[in-house]
Structure 1
Amino acid sequence: MAASRSTDAMDTTPQNDPQAHNISMSSSTISLPAPHPSPSPASPQRVQVRDLSHIQSLASSRPGSSLSSRAGSRRDLNVQYEISSMPIEHIIEMVAGLLTKITSTNDMQHEHLHRQMPPPDSSASISPQTSSVLAFHGKNVPSITILSYLNRINKYCPTSYEVFLSLLVYFDRMTEKVNSGPIQSLREQNQSKSQEQLHNEDGPRMEDSKKAETAQTVTPPASGDLNTAEQRGAIPGTPHSRYQESPPASSSSAQDHDLNLSHFFVVDSFNIHRLVIAGVTCASKFFSDIFYTNSRYAKVGGLPLPELNHLELQFLLLNDFRLSVPVEELEAYGTMLVEFYAREVVDAEKNTNMETETN
């Protein structure tokens, strides 16, 4: 499967839409936080979240909880935050905030991760899975923010909140599927290097013990070797007078093959917009009874129709065509999203207070 590289420009203005925004979009390590594990047999406490201001008030009224601290109390693991009643715009804002945090963190490692990016003409030498991953990688970072992009999609292709929340689930699944192999290879390489290092450390110790034994029993050189030893500048009657072959050159000349980090699936600013529009296209058809044509999704997303069709297929392949999300898993991601947003609000308030005190 050949790798598909992104086009240089993405037009995010739907045709024949007088209300469309004229937004130009030039196209181009952190993974998603794991949601809480499955709740214990005891019925979890359900908190119906109304809107973002409700989350802020909950975070302020519960100091030390999982809403205001990364290490919440143990009882917080039995609290579930139900977001189905929230305005979808507020859910989009939380999803955008999390994805923005992830991409900005991973962007710091972009040069290191993608310095081994294979050229377009080398697509025959990469695996189909790597080809699917590289299909989402653009040449440049789009100028439109993730929040604006999600709001744009919701405006011209409105759908249910499950579609936007499921993006987090799909990205996690893709990360696990793609990165499990390279991570295992990396672990094996580290183990091999550790064993080799231990072996190299044991070698000099054995040589030192042999030299110590030789120093205890000094043997005078044979007459035939005396001249040779003197010519070498060695002192007769010492262990150095013995003729010693020069140590052989290290036979371990095999070069270590560095793991190609470009084969990892990492959500960053170079692929997030394509991942989002492809994910929304797939999820809308699965979760919602009302969805749109790929032509409309392509216009709203600023991509040519053939490219979106290709990305949709790659998205399905990287998810093993498994779009179903159990209700419990979706609820767990909703709880994780509320907790993330609450912590961000608390952190922002702390930073504001610190700046105020400093000034």
Structure 2
Amino acid sequence: MAAELESFHEMPRVITFLSSLLQRVAESNDVNRRFEPHKISVFHGLTRPTISIQSYLERIFKYANCSPSCFIVAYVYLDRFAQRQPLLPINSHNIHRLLITSVMVAAKFMDDMYYNNAYYAKIGGISIREMNFLEVDFLFGLSFHLNVTPISFHTYSSNLQREMILLQPPLNFGRSLKLHYCFSEDESTHQKQLAV
């Protein structure tokens, strides 16, 4: 019991913030978008996983040994993916596969040392073949737009913290995740538009 409490306190706040936000996004899309046309993809599971989003993220953090910044970058990737793939809303049937894939891609892009796809497949509880398919689909879904500027990173991080601190109700997710801000491709102008 003491070891569990100790490991809980070592968990970065970003895991708690991100899991809470993604839980609300998935539940909202489960209800509000259930009658809209959806595209079935490799991310879609036939049933909802029994492990919670919080526990799944904690598992990824514990075993992947990637930097906490990878979770912010994964969050940026999830937002980009949702915006570029409006027929694949984030929901309870795909969030776990999207998470393991986005964190793996973020670790490969951000960290100097990272594990291979077979290791991430074990962490995620999926086969290596499925992990490979998920990675390819995710990269194409992002149009290989992986770079995250310091401005984007700071803004997503700040807004994630602000959302959790203020306990704001979930945003209207419309046709994409639209968690916080949509950035123009030229972020050097420092312009941002609220995505509502």
Q: Answer whether TM exceeds 0.5 for this pair.
A: yes
Contact 1:159 1:288 (C-alpha < 8 Å) held by counterparts: yes
CA distance in 1, matches of 2:47, 2:25: 18
Q: CA deviation at 1:90?
A: 1.3
Residue of structure 1 in register with 2:96 after alignment: 273
Could you say what secondary structure the match of 1:111 adopts?
coil
Contact 1:88 1:160 (C-alpha < 8 Å) held by counterparts: no
Return the structure number with greater relative CO, CA threshold 8 A, min gap 6: 1
Structure (1 or 2) with the larger CA radius of gyration: 1
CA distance in 1, matches of 2:33, 2:44: 11
Contact 2:11 2:58 (C-alpha < 8 Å) held by counterparts: no
Contact 1:277 1:297 (C-alpha < 8 Å) held by counterparts: yes
Output one character per residue of 1:146-165: Cα deviation in whole Å (capped at 9) or x when no partner: 11000001111111122111
Residue of structure 2 in register with 1:151 after alignment: 58
Residue of structure 1 in register with 2:44 after alignment: 137
Matched, 1:315 2:138: yes
Output one character per residue of 1:128-182: Cα deviation in whole Å (capped at 9) or x when no partner: xx5xx61211111001001100000111111112211112211221222223xxx
- Report 1:245-260 matches (<5 A): none
- Report 1:153-302 matches (<5 A): 153-179=60-86, 264-302=87-125
Contact 1:89 1:151 (C-alpha < 8 Å) held by counterparts: no
Q: CA deviation at 1:99?
A: 0.5
Could you say what secondary structure the match of 1:108 adopts?
helix
CA distance in 1, matches of 2:57, 2:31: 23
Q: CA deviation at 1:88?
A: 5.3
Q: CA deviation at 1:334?
A: 0.8
Unaligned runs of 5+ in 2: 1-9, 170-196
Contact 2:16 2:54 (C-alpha < 8 Å) held by counterparts: yes
Contact 1:92 1:147 (C-alpha < 8 Å) held by counterparts: yes
Taking every aligned residue pair, what percent have the same amino acid on both sides?
34
Contact 1:88 1:161 (C-alpha < 8 Å) held by counterparts: no
Could you say what secondary structure the match of 1:112 adopts?
coil
Contact 2:84 2:141 (C-alpha < 8 Å) held by counterparts: yes
- Output the amino acid matched with 2:68: Y
CA distance in 2, matches of 1:153, 1:178: 24
Q: CA deviation at 1:98?
A: 0.8
Matched, 1:101 2:24: yes
